[in-house]
Amino acid sequence: MSRTPDTWILTAQCPSVLGTVDALTRFLFEQRCYVTEHHSFDDRLSSRFFIRIEFRQPDDFDEQAFRDELDQRSAMFEMQTELTPPGYRAKVVLMVSKSDHCLNDLLYRQRIGHLPMDVVAVISNHPDLEPLARWHAIPYYHFALDPNDKPSQERKVLQVIEETGAELVVLARYMQVLSPELCRKLDGWAINIHHSLLPGFKGAKPYHQAYQKGVKLVGATAHYINNDLDEGPIIAQGVEPVDHSHYPEDLIAKGRDIECLTLAKAIGYHLERRVFLNANRTVVL
């Protein structure tokens, strides 16, 4: 589901009422825009409608006039709309601790153009990964965490996020719990990744605990952060089978790979405007 470089993205959500699909597709037809991809979903339990459309514009496309007319058409349906131009690259801040696998993977995917983003800063509570960020010519901010004064560290984090104009924050194995205040400020635009093991194993060495129980599945979950630890709206999940031949180090290695793939998938969905928040759930189109 990768986006072609010459298309616009139009997303909208509104109450479930008759005529929503027609309102947007007819409008695009009248504007002589060619639809290349279209997905929609109507949630009958919440009575909410969600739609995502990619389209190509005509040669004489007037963006401002298009936006003005779109606002008028969508108002009667109480639609919340968003329009993303071709080639748009979001500014992203990555937060890390000592593990480098997710950071390395995301910087590589940015470099080869797999993810339409510009990483404008890497923030960490440890200095270990600064050489990796420096190699990619990305500013690295090391803010050591004082257990007795966590708010001062988070103020520095938030200052970097605001000064860089970041539109997305990614906790790429950032091993610190964010305060409720910071979670509220990042609600809906910060993504976290963590392992998923059945049954769940919390605390130190979860993969060693999983090995002792003889788990048969390992996985990872990428979700938006909220004030409930690891319980925000889920964007993507990955899972792989394992068996008795997988020792703890094998489980850890497989877990790293799944975390990288799942996090990259979730970020791609977010950047391509495929994710809609629907209460504490997501709709991914």
Residues labelled catalytic? 230
Dihedral over Cα of 132, 134, 139, 143: its sign: positive
Q: Helix H segments across 19-117? A: 20-30, 63-75, 101-111
> Quick check: 129 and 100 in contact, CB under 8 A?
yes
Burial of 3 (0-12, 13-18, 19+ CB in 10 A): buried
210 sits in which H/E element: helix 206-213
Q: Give the span between the Cα atoms of 58 and 66, in whole angstroms.
A: 12
Q: Give the span between the Cα atoms of 75 and 77, in whole angstroms.
A: 5
Q: Give the span between the Cα atoms of 203 and 209, in whole angstroms.
A: 9
> Quick check: 199 and 234 in contact, CB under 8 A?
no
Bridge-based pairing state of the strands 217-224 and 190-197 = antiparallel
180 sits in which H/E element: helix 180-185
Bridge-based pairing state of the strands 117-124 and 90-96 = parallel
